[in-house]
Amino acid sequence: MERKKQLKEEYRRMKPAMGVFSIQSNITNKRYLEGTTNLKAGINRVVFQLNHGSHPHRELQTDWNEQGEESFTITVIDELPYSEDGTVKDYKEEVMELQSIWQEKLRLDGESLY
């Protein structure tokens, strides 16, 4: 019973990597960016949606359907560190700001975004 409590506590303290990831077409070079507080879960969710035809971004979904999953590269672009003092509990705003920064940077670099 004590081991179960310990495992629950460890799970509660886990801090998943958060940040911005990109899904880029190797054919058109267009990128889709998304910020998330859990990179692994966010990437899995988007790939699931794309594979099942339910992603809300229609242009990305169309390219995914036509080109196939193997024609895309998924990359973590940037990770957001947790605050060292532990005062920030909800990082959604920070993640969205990081996503905006990357969108602007990539546009200025001449990259095409979905």
Q: Per-residue b/e over 34-47, b at no fewer than 16 CB within 10 Å?
A: bbbbbbeebbeebb
Q: Is residue 79 part of a domain?
A: yes
The pTM for the full model equals 0.85
Q: Is residue 11 part of a domain?
A: no
Which pLDDT tens digit goes with each residue over 50-93? 999 999 999 999 999 999 999 999 999 999 999 887 676 789 99
Q: Is residue 39 part of a domain?
A: yes
Query: In percent, how much of the chain has pLDDT > 90?
Result: 80
Q: Kindly tell me if the per-residue pLDDT of 10 is higher than 80.
A: no
**Domain that includes residue 97, residue range:** 17-108
Q: How many domains does the chain have?
A: 1
Q: Is residue 3 part of a domain?
A: no
Residue 70: give its domain's CATH number: 3.40.1440.10
Q: Kindly tell me if the per-residue pLDDT of 103 is higher than 80.
A: yes
Q: Is residue 84 part of a domain?
A: yes
Q: Is residue 101 part of a domain?
A: yes
